[in-house]
Amino acid sequence: MAAYVQEIGALTMRWVRRLSREKFSMVFTLVQPMLFWLIFFGNLFQRAADAQVVQAPNYISFLAAGVVVMTVLNNGLAGGVDLLFDKENGFLERLLSTPIHRTSVVLSRFLFVMTITCLQILVILGVAALFGVRPATGLLGVAVILFIGMLFGVGLTAISMAIAFSVKSHGDFFSVLGFLSLPLIFLSSALVPLSAMPAWMSVLARFNPMTWAIDAIRPLILSGWAEALPRIGMVVVIMAVFDAFCLYGSARAFRRTIG
Amino acid sequence: MEVIGRTVAIEASGLGKVYDGVTAIDGLSFQVFAGEIFGLLGPNGAGKSTTLRILITIVRPDAGHATVLGHDVVREADRVRHLIGYVPQERAIDRFLTGREHLLLLGDLYHLPKSETRKRIAEILRLVDLEEQADRPARTYSGGMKRKLDLACGLLPNPKILFLDEPTLGLDVQSRLRIWDYVRRLRERGITIVMTTNYLDEADRLCDRLAIIDGGRIKALGSPNELKAGLGGDIISLTVGASETACVDRLASELKGLPFVRAISTKQNGLDIRVESPEKALPVVLEAANRAACRLEFIDYHRPRLDDVFVALTGHAIREEFPKTDE
């Protein structure tokens, strides 16, 4: 057990160290492009979005939940790319020739991606607060938001790793990624509530786990526990299924690479 | 050279591996003795790296089995990993980490206490002569320095056996010689070395014993000298003028069946003749050239070299795209 902790600690620190070596990239990781969505998109649509339709005092407070989950989506889907680079340049092989538990490499990546994602969510909620958006459920609500983000993030990172282990080159990886992320955002309740969507889109959006995460986080920000609790129960069940599915696929891809 | 009763460090028997329906290796069996430099020599795609990857436990064989210091590479993979060091073919280096950080990371992966890791790092950096650059990010390293760091990483676990995949691929002459020097020094310290290479001179000068691999099979096994002696006879190389390549085949048929001539292999502009005793064969060969009306441009006579062995065993040169070079 002590050995397991030692190796996971060291592998996780490697990711942290890499990030800290690239000062630019570190700043841009924390102050990420997702903030532009909140700041510009949120304010841009202030008058275009009907408060009756979005069921929120203003558009930016409606959008906050969506931007939080979009951050989780982007981080999760990109989470596997460093493992792909490791696979391509042989570093992964070097790691696997050492007496580490086979899961340590993957687990260290999860830990790192989840930590960064949490920090980014906190930055987003902080910026939202500057525009007057305060979570109705307080600090405990923020903790639950992070928890839901992690639940979704684990599955996404697993998908990303599965793609990383399966594709032939990182060119393929980025095309698959680019193909996935926009439809997932538009076919969710991130920008517009389901009730305001064209019927066919709202049907599709219901199958998008992202929608369920957003619909659980939104009342935590906008209204309060009464509305949020049943949705949190719902999202936990859905994410458990989603994560189990993704982790299974990722484990298979990982074993194929190593086997 | 051969001592009876040498300790067997690695035993491979009947190893086979198929990737997506393509056979990478097919029934490889060999032994590596403790304390020797053992080479897997062959062209790209011959199956050397697959064999190496099986021995270091990161690829499972589809057939056969192998033991490293008595431990099965599949069932006791974890035990094996504790005993070996690995230097991959690619520059498997994280450009953002410093050399020292690479070694510290590996120390944790081998579950060493920090103090022990530090002690080993100091010693290894001195050995590979990388002390001054140890705290610079690896992206500032030259090719030779990266190779040294690779080697240092392989040595950190204090391995009984060190596996090197194409250790001097793409290095300049000076760095190559230096790597050879390190490898010999490691053997002196009692470390068994297993390396792949597609350089004939490297195999010849560095390895104690060799397995020549081609098309996923072992073609020959032995020390470079044994392999050369096993070929039998010396080599007479004839080169004809550029305008007379047509007479090569004529000359070959003249030579066929002559006494002293063991084997003939034709090249584009000449032929290699393996003969029993050159002093008797040479006049006969020259006479034949006369009869075939071949104007010879160059005659060379030499003891068999490893490239002759390779061609004789596999029917082709190790790198088809280049003319054969020795040194």
Per-residue pLDDT of A38-95, as tens digits, reads 888 888 887 777 777 777 888 889 999 999 999 999 999 999 989 999 988 889 999 9
Contact yes or no for A97 and B84 at CB 8 A: yes
Residues 6 or more apart in contact with residue B173 via CB below 8 angstroms: none
- Confidence label for B3 from pLDDT (cuts 50, 70 and 90): low
Q: What is the pLDDT of residue B322?
A: 45
Confirm whether A183 is domain-assigned: yes
Number of domains within chain A: 1
Q: Which of A22, A94, A98 has its CB closest to that of B88?
A: A94
Q: What is the mean pLDDT of residues B288-294?
A: 82
Contact yes or no for A17 and B108 at CB 8 A: no
Q: What is the pLDDT of residue A176?
A: 85
Percent of chain B scoring above 90 in pLDDT: 56
- Mutation for B interface: A97, A254, A257, most B CBs within 10 A: A97
Q: Which of A9, A18, A259 has its CB closest to that of B60?
A: A259
CA distance A149 to A70: 10
Q: What is the pLDDT of residue B189?
A: 92
Q: What is the pLDDT of residue B325?
A: 41
Token readout for A44 is: 């841009």
- Mutation for B interface: A94, A102, A105, most B CBs within 10 A: A94
- Confidence label for B4 from pLDDT (cuts 50, 70 and 90): low
| Contact in structure between B121 and B98 (CB atoms under 8 Å) | no
DSSP H helices in chain A: 2-21, 23-30, 34-36, 42-44, 51-54, 59-78, 81-89, 91-96, 104-130, 138-166, 170-186, 199-206, 209-222, 225-258
Complex-level ipTM = 0.88
Q: What is the pLDDT of residue A235?
A: 97
pLDDT of A3 over the 50 cut: yes
Confirm whether A48 is domain-assigned: yes
Contact yes or no for B105 and A100 at CB 8 A: no
Confirm whether A89 is domain-assigned: no
Confirm whether A204 is domain-assigned: yes
Q: What is the pLDDT of residue B262?
A: 80
Contact yes or no for B58 and A98 at CB 8 A: no
Q: Which of A22, A93, A259 has its CB closest to that of B92?
A: A93
B179 has a chain A CB within 8 A of its CB: no
pLDDT of B1 over the 50 cut: no
Q: What is the pLDDT of residue B319?
A: 65
The edge-to-edge listing of strands for the beta sheet with B234-240 is B261-267, B270-275, B234-240, B296-302
Chain B residue with Cα closest to A17: B97
Contact yes or no for A18 and B78 at CB 8 A: no
> Which residue is it, tokens 């074993």?
A255
| Residue pairs spanning A and B at CB distance below 8 A | 72
Q: What is the pLDDT of residues A146-176, one digit of tens each?
A: 999 999 999 999 999 999 998 888 888 888 8
Confirm whether A30 is domain-assigned: no
Confirm whether A6 is domain-assigned: no
C-alpha triplet B54, B56, B60: angle, nearest 5°: 30
- Confidence label for B320 from pLDDT (cuts 50, 70 and 90): low
Confirm whether A167 is domain-assigned: yes
Q: What is the pLDDT of residues A117-141, one digit of tens each?
A: 999 999 999 999 998 899 999 999 9
pLDDT of B28 over the 90 cut: yes
Q: Show residues of chain B in contact with A258, CB under 8 Å.
A: 58
- Confidence label for B270 from pLDDT (cuts 50, 70 and 90): confident
The number of residues in chain B equals 327
Q: What are the phi and psi torsion angles at B130 (to 5°)?
A: -130, 15
Q: What is the pLDDT of residue A209?
A: 95
Q: Which of B90, B104, B110 has its CB closest to that of A98?
A: B110
pLDDT of A143 over the 80 cut: yes
CA distance B172 to A7: 36
Lowest mean per-residue pLDDT among A143-157, A169-183, B12-26: A169-183
- Count Cβ atoms below 10 Å from residue A79 Cβ, excluding itself: 25
pLDDT of B211 over the 60 cut: yes
The edge-to-edge listing of strands for the beta sheet with B63-68 is B22-33, B8-19, B63-68, B71-72
Contact yes or no for A97 and B86 at CB 8 A: yes
What's the domain range around A59?
Answer: 35-81+114-258
Chain mean pLDDT for chain B: 88
pLDDT of B42 over the 70 cut: yes
pLDDT of B327 over the 50 cut: no
Q: Which domains does chain B have, with CATH numbers?
A: 8-228 (3.40.50.300), 233-303 (3.30.70.100)
Q: What is the pLDDT of residues B156-204, one digit of tens each?
A: 999 999 999 999 988 888 889 999 999 999 999 999 999 999 898 999 9
Chain mean pLDDT for chain A: 90
Q: What is the pLDDT of residues A204-229, one digit of tens each?
A: 999 999 999 999 999 999 999 999 99
Helix (H) or strand (E) holding B13: strand B8-19
B50 has a chain A CB within 8 A of its CB: no
pLDDT of B127 over the 80 cut: yes
* DSSP strand pairing (B63-68 vs B71-72): antiparallel
Q: Show residues of chain A in contact with B92, CB under 8 Å.
A: 89-91, 93-94
Q: What is the pLDDT of residue A259?
A: 55
The whole-angstrom distance between A35's CA and the closest CA on chain B is: 27
Confirm whether A160 is domain-assigned: yes
Higher pLDDT, B110 or B238: B110
Q: Which of B78, B91, B108 has its CB closest to that of A7?
A: B108
Q: Is B34 left (phi over 0), alpha (psi -120 to 50) or beta?
A: beta
Contact yes or no for A100 and B109 at CB 8 A: yes
Q: What is the pLDDT of residue B91?
A: 75
